[in-house]
Amino acid sequence: MPKHFRPAGKKKEGNAAKYITRTKAVNYLQVSLAIFRKLCILKGVFPRQPKKKVEGNHKTYYHMKDIAFLAHDPLIEKFRQIKVHRKKVKKAIAKKNRDLADRLLNRPPTYKLDRLVLERYPTFVDALRDLDDCLTMVHLFAALPAVDGERIEVKRIHNCRRLSHEWQAYISRTHALRKTFISVKGIYYQAEVQGQKITWLTPHALQQVLTDDVDFNVMLTFLEFYETLLGFVNFKLYHSINVNYPPILDPRLEALAAVLYSVPELYALCRYMSTGSGRAIGNSDSGGVNEKESGAIKENEDGNNKASAKTDESELRLAQLQHQLPSNEPGALMHLVEESTAVDTDDDETKECKSLFKNLKFYLSREVPRESLLFIIPAFGGTVSWEGEGAPFNEIDEDITHQIVDRPTQSHVFLSREYVQPQWVFDCVNARIILPTDGYLVGRVPPPHLSPFVDNDAEGYIPEYAETIKRLQAAARNEVLPLPGDEDLDNSLVAAMMDRTESNEAAEKKRKLEMLEKQYHDELKMEIDGVTFSNLSNKKPDKSQDTMDKDDAKSDHEDEKKQAEKDNDDISTALMSRRKRGLYKAMEIGRERKQDKVELLKKRKKNADSSASAKRR
């Protein structure tokens, strides 16, 4: 018998030993399919695609090591205890033993996911890299209606709103927001936190309806883990800027947040982070999310939140709301927190974002998307207020420079401020300059809202308004700004850009006039020299004939060059393998589709321009 002989059926090898189907995995773990799904979501286990599917292509496969990883997790025992507890409650109710049922319902088995966060994300950077879906899911549930009797608990929705506002307050405080874009799905944001770019989507502030097409059980399982993850991330980020977490808000603003949750609560968080309520953290630079540290912080919360401290902090925040502090604007209060080090560690991009809306004061009308603008404007150094209770200043404030409106008519107009549409704020943020407000005035059709996530050079098509913004950006970089103290400081940049554009147009006109003048002098000199029109006309055909011969030779040379390139491509394709040839053809098809899309956009733009010119006539 050979040394390495293995009898058939005794031991599996290869893909049959590495992978297991979902049905066998459920039987191996001795759990239901719903609990198996929940375990896979919480532990981050996903199906695999083996090269050779032993039991058929219609089945789902998991890696055997992942299933063994799930089998040793303590959560399985917790889920079994919960199942047994439900059976006990059901049995007590069936026997009409209401006292036993109430005792069981008051003491259900619970579990925590803190260990899973540390297990899946060993370092804090790993958690930041995987935060896109987390933020999108939390902001989605934060926009759902908090109504009793629905499939989603009210406390879960309130918790999502709290976590989302805490995240937005940190991004606004640290000026980490980089891009924003309004789409049909919602509003996209991109922030840069500790060198990691984080992109998330928030739904529009509309009435949401819970449909039956969505499996909310699966989504709530994801949300359960994402709530824990975002809580740890907020805890780490707040302590990195020496601010206590969870924040203690003003009771008056919290009462307002119960009615209008979006504006007062986010504004209260910005106030809290700006009133010097931070503290020094000795180990704020640790690499991972430490479970023991967070537990110790939570245990010490009761000792730190004494009645006297609450009273002092509440009085300070109320004093700010009542204009008893000299710097009451959110943009100015952002700079009141004393940093742990005296050295300015902000990079150039952060400094640019911090000073974009500097010295600008905004007022939001009631019809504009308040929550989005209240998040964006302070993130870029501006001061903002709104119409309603809890606002830092009223509409009649004479220092307001821009009022964001979305109605064609206004009850009263102040001549000292600009009335612009909300799109102007988003376009200024993406362009990183103060754009002219002429195209965004009330009642006008605004310019196209361009996405900052699209690379126009790679796509091969640059919109006309993108070229205009590029010219304005170049003018802003090359123009000398006025000295501080000028009364028209907020409008000087726009005026400088417009002056530069007008000077470029004047220079182009002057160059054309000089060319025409030179042509006139040449013709006059030829007339003085005695060159007749007949001699000039006889010379022109020869020149045109030579030009035609040169053009024909040039076209023949181009045809020969194209033919040579085609032959080289055919030879290269013939030498490729079948798989590489298929990939090459797919790349060529992708290039052709992109070129066709560019040609379609150019054609649409040409038709739009022709129709617009016809209407003007």
Q: How high is the mean pLDDT of the chain?
A: 77
Q: State residue 182's pLDDT score.
A: 93
- Higher pLDDT residue, 160 or 282? 160
Tokens of 572: 């290269």
Question: Rounded to whole angstroms, what are the CA distances from 231 to 29, 134, 527, 596?
Answer: 31, 11, 87, 47
Average pLDDT over residues 442-471: 85
CA 411 from chain centre, in angstroms, equals 35
Bond from prior residue into 246 cis (ω within 30 degrees of 0): yes
Residue 464 pLDDT level (bands cut at 50, 70, 90):
confident
Average pLDDT over residues 169-194: 92
Check if the beta carbon of residue 382 is closer than 8 Å to that of residue 331. yes
Residue 48 carries which DSSP code? Answer: B
pLDDT digits (tens, 9 = 90+) for 201-215: 999 988 888 888 888
Check if the beta carbon of residue 373 is closer than 8 Å to that of residue 263. no
Domains, in order of start, for the chain: 15-106 (1.10.1660), 113-247 (no CATH), 349-447 (3.40.50.10190)
Check if the beta carbon of residue 291 is closer than 8 Å to that of residue 118. yes
Q: State residue 609's pLDDT score.
A: 78
Counting residues of the chain whose pLDDT is more than 70, the rounded percentage is 73
- Higher pLDDT residue, 292 or 55? 55
Cβ neighbours of 21 (radius 10 Å): 16
Nearest to 205 by CA among 135, 260, 158: 260
Residue 363 DSSP SS3? strand
Residue 11 pLDDT level (bands cut at 50, 70, 90):
low
Nearest to 209 by CA among 300, 145, 281: 145
Tokens of 69: 């990883």
Nearest to 329 by CA among 360, 350, 353, 364: 360
Q: Flag whether pLDDT at 280 surpasses 60.
A: no
The residues that bridge with 364 in the sheet, in sequence order, are 386, 404
Tokens of 72: 């040793």
**370-379 vs 154-174: helix axis angle to the nearest 10?**
30
Average pLDDT over residues 536-561: 57
Angle subtended at Cα 391 by Cα 390 and Cα 393, rounded to the nearest 5 degrees: 140
Task: Kindly report the length of the chain.
Answer: 617
Tokens of 24: 């066998």
Average pLDDT over residues 356-371: 89
- Residue 479 burial (CB < 10 Å; 0-12/13-18/19+)? middle
Q: State residue 151's pLDDT score.
A: 79
pTM for the full model?
0.69
Pairing of strands 383-386, 361-364: parallel
d(CA 436, CA 434): 7
Q: Flag whether pLDDT at 434 surpasses 60.
A: yes
524 HSE (CA, 13 A, CB side): 6
Q: State residue 200's pLDDT score.
A: 95
What type of residue is 165?
A: H
Average pLDDT over residues 310-314: 43
Q: Flag whether pLDDT at 481 surpasses 50.
A: no
Q: State residue 507's pLDDT score.
A: 73
d(CA 587, CA 203): 35
Question: Rounded to whole angstroms, what are the CA distances from 524 to 517, 519, 538, 541, 584?
Answer: 11, 9, 19, 22, 61
pLDDT digits (tens, 9 = 90+) for 372-392: 999 999 999 888 988 877 788
Nearest to 278 by CA among 327, 234, 323, 245: 245
Residue 551 pLDDT level (bands cut at 50, 70, 90):
low
